[in-house]
Structure 1
Amino acid sequence: MSLHIRLETLCCIIALAREFQAKEEVVIPDTPASPTEDWALQVLADHSEDYSLNQMRETIAEMSERQRAELVALMWLGRGDYSIDEWEACVDDAIGDFSLRACEYLLAHPMISDHLEEGLIAHDLSCED
C-alpha cells in the first residue's frame, strides 16, 4: 500500500497549494448552480501568471496517471471519504476524469493542503520528517 509519489513531491505540492490559496485574490466560488458549470477552471482562469499555480501544474503534469490518481485519492482519504483500508478502491475511483484534471480539481477545494496532509498521516507519513 505504498505511494508511487515521492514524499518530497507531495510536500512540495502541499506547500504550493497552501501558498496559492493563501493569496487574497484567490476566490473559491460556491457550488455551481448546475453540474455543467465548470467552476474549477474558472477559479484558475485569472491566475495564469501565478508562480505557485504554474509550479504545481508543472509538477502534476509530469506525474503518471497512477500518481495523479493517488494525489486525488490522498485528498479523498484525508477528508474522510475513504479509509486507509479502502486505498486501492479509492485510487481506482480517481483514475480517469479526476486524474486527468487533478490540479484544477484539487485547487477547487479550499482545504486541499490540510486534506493532503491528513491523507499522508493515514499512510503514517508526514512532511515534518
Structure 2
Amino acid sequence: MPDLSISSEKVCFLIVKAREFDVQDVAADDDSGSNPSDDREIDVLEAAPDNPVAQEIRVFIAELGEEEKADLIGLLRLGRGDGTMEDWQAMRDESLREHGGRIAAYLMGEPLLSDYLEEGLSQFGFSCAEFEIGRL
C-alpha cells in the first residue's frame, strides 16, 4: 500500500471545514434586520465573498507542501472512483500538473469534496470518526 505524505489529521480537518462550507446557502436575505436577533442570525449560513470558512480552507491548503497537495487531489480522485489504489501514483503525479496553483479553487469547487476525501482516506485504512466527534 502506498504511503500518504499528508497526515490523516490534516485531511480530517479539511473534511470538517469542507462540510462547514458546504452547508452554506446563497445569500438571499437582502432585507436583514438591524441586528442578529432581528434577522434570526441566518446571515451566518449564507455564502459571502469574505466567508471565513472559505478563507480558512484556502489558507490551510496554501500552507501545505506540494506532496501534501498532490495527496489531497489524489484522495479526491480515489474517493470519487476515478482510479484505484494501483493508480495512486499516477493520480498524484498528474494532479499538480493539471491544477498547479489553483488547487484550493479546484477542491472547493467540488460539491462532494468532504465525502470523496473521506472515502479516499478510508481506502488507506483511516477514519475521521474520532476527529469529528471532537470537532463537531
What is the alpha-carbon root mean square deviation over aligned residues?
1.6
Unaligned 5+ runs, structure 2? 28-46, 131-136
Task: Compare 107-116 and 17-26 and name the one that shifted more.
Answer: 17-26
Unaligned 5+ runs, structure 1? 27-45
| Structure 2 counterpart of 1:42 | none
1:7 is displaced (CA, Å) by 1.2
Give, in whole Å, the separation in 2 of the partners of 1:87 and 1:54: 29
Give, in whole Å, the separation in 1 of the partners of 2:92 and 2:10: 18
Report the TM-score, using the length of structure 1 for normalisation. Answer: 0.79
Larger radius of gyration: 2
Give, in whole Å, the separation in 2 of the partners of 1:90 and 1:65: 14
- Displaced runs of 4+ in structure 1, greater than 6 A? none
Q: How many residues align?
A: 110
1:18 is displaced (CA, Å) by 1.0
Q: Which amino acid aligns with 1:103?
A: A
Aligned residues of 1:17 and 1:113 also touching (Cα < 8 A):
yes
Give, in whole Å, the separation in 2 of the partners of 1:81 and 1:25: 30
Aligned residues of 2:21 and 2:54 also touching (Cα < 8 A):
yes
Is the partner of 2:125 in helix, strand or coil?
Answer: coil
Aligned residues of 2:6 and 2:67 also touching (Cα < 8 A):
no
1:3 is displaced (CA, Å) by 0.9
| Structure 2 counterpart of 1:19 | 20
| Structure 1 counterpart of 2:76 | 75
| Structure 2 counterpart of 1:92 | 93
Give, in whole Å, the separation in 1 of the partners of 2:84 and 2:111: 21
1:8 is displaced (CA, Å) by 1.2
Give, in whole Å, the separation in 1 of the partners of 2:123 and 2:87: 11
Identical aligned pairs, as a percentage? 35
Give CA-to-partner distance per residue, 1:18-53, whole Å, 9 cap, x none. Answer: 111110128xxxxxxxxxxxxxxxxxxx74321111
Report the TM-score, using the length of structure 2 for normalisation. Answer: 0.75
Aligned residues of 1:68 and 1:99 also touching (Cα < 8 A):
no
